[in-house]
Amino acid sequence: MKKNEGNTDRILRVILGIALLVIGFAVMGGTAGVIVGLVGLVPLLTGLAGSCPVYSLLGLSSTKAAS
Amino acid sequence: MPATGAEQVGPLVIRAWAPWCGVCRTMAPVVEKAAATTGVSVVDLLVDDANTVASDLRITSIPTLIASFDGIETGRLIGAHSEESIYNFFATTRDGERQTRARVSAVTWTLRLAAGGALIVIGTTLASTPVWIIGALIASWGAISGLLR
């Protein structure tokens, strides 16, 4: 699994994921809350893994070679 | 090593490729940019024209980049890789270090540990079992990643 996310991208995904997870499971609750929470897991896990399957499919990357 | 230019003093990268190889052509600008940035010389080895040399160097697929320092092979990069990986390969070659398998970076395991910890705290504070369980799993992932580095 190749890394295709830059650090800023990863941190933003993790923050978004945590926010959705907390809003879904801890604030909203119910079926809608579970759905929001599960949606939040996507950016959270891709951010923590450093690799985004959608980026891979589209040939995108937010990494850059160190200079 | 065989006479491929690898006897040169200092860092050198041998690039084994062929004009019909699409991945090789795609990687070419990235390799050239990394070589220019790091100042590492690149010797091209066209495998169709140099079968014996390719065989001596145990090149079984292309593209293959072979890192050499003072004529001693320090590592290989086989197949398609990200710009970052190629740059890191060249930087490591320039420094004469042996190429090692990519490991989990400090940023990665720290981010996992921090995200997991944050979820445990938030989940416990808000009495949300799913949140702290997910946090505990992610924190464990981060801790294991850090320990296995």
B-chain residues near A64 (CB < 8 A): 83-84
| Predicted pLDDT at B1 | 44
For strand B41-46 and strand B64-69, is the pairing parallel, antiparallel, or unpaired? Answer: unpaired
Are B126 and A44 within 8 A, CB to CB?
A: no
Q: Is residue B22 part of a domain?
A: yes
Cis check for the bond before B11: say yes or no (omega within 30 of 0): no
How many Cβ atoms sit within 10 Å of the Cβ of residue B79? 11
Residue B2, pLDDT above cutoff 80: no
Give the total number of structural domains in chain A: 1
pLDDT tens-place string over residues A2-57: 678 888 999 999 999 999 999 999 999 899 999 999 999 999 999 999 889 898 88
In a domain, A61, yes or no: no
Q: What is the average per-residue pLDDT within B14-37? A: 91
Residue B113 and residue B90 share a domain = no
Average pLDDT of span B135-146 = 91
Question: Which of B32, B77, B84, B94 would you mutate first to test chain A, the one with the most A CBs within 10 A?
Answer: B84
SS3 helix, strand, coil % of chain A, rounded to 5?
70, 0, 30
Cα B102 to Cα A17: distance, rounded to the nearest angstrom: 26
Kindly report the CATH number assigned to the domain that includes residue B54: 3.40.30.10
Catalytic residue among B24, B31, B131, B139: B24
The pLDDT, as a whole number, for residue B80 is: 83
Q: What is the average per-residue pLDDT within B2-6?
A: 47
Do both B24 and B90 map to the same domain? yes
Torsion over CA: B69, B71, B76, B79 (sign): positive
Could you tell me if B29 and B82 lie in one domain? yes
For B60, counting Cβ atoms within 10 Å of its Cβ (0-12 exposed, 13-18 middle, 19+ buried), the class is exposed
**Which of A4, A18, A26 has its CB closest to that of B128?**
A26
Please list the alpha-helical segments (H only) found in chain B. 22-38, 51-56, 83-94, 106-125, 129-147
Per the CB < 8 A criterion, the answer to whether A35 and A4 are in contact is no
Tell me the shortest Cα–Cα distance from B60 to chain A, in angstroms: 22
Q: Choose the mutation target among A25, A34, A41 for the interface with B, i.e. most B CBs under 10 Å.
A: A25
Question: What's the total number of domains in chain B?
Answer: 2
Confidence grade of residue B83 (pLDDT, cut at 50, 70, 90): confident
Position A59 scores a pLDDT of: 80
pLDDT band at A67 (very low <50, low <70, confident <90, very high): very low
Residues B80 and B15 in one domain: yes
B22 vs B5 pLDDT, higher one: B22
Q: Is residue B1 part of a domain?
A: no
To the query of whether residue B143 is one of the catalytic residues in this protein, the response is: no
Do B116 and B70 lie in one domain? The reply is no
A60 touches chain B (CB under 8 A): no
Kindly state whether residues B57 and B78 are assigned to the same domain. Answer: yes
Q: Is residue B82 in some structural domain? A: yes
Q: What is the residue range of A26's domain?
A: 7-53
- Sheet of strand B64-69: strand arrangement: B41-46, B11-17, B64-69, B72-78
| B112 and B75, same domain (yes or no) | no
Report which of residues B119 and A63 the model is more confident about.
B119
Do B35 and B89 share a domain, yes or no? Answer: yes
Asked about B21 being catalytic, the answer comes back as yes
| Owning domain of residue B20 | 11-94
A64, pLDDT greater than 80: no
Q: What is the ipTM of this complex?
A: 0.89
Please enumerate in sequence order all residues whose Cβ is within 8 A of that of B30, keeping only pairs 6 or more positions apart, or say none: B83, B86
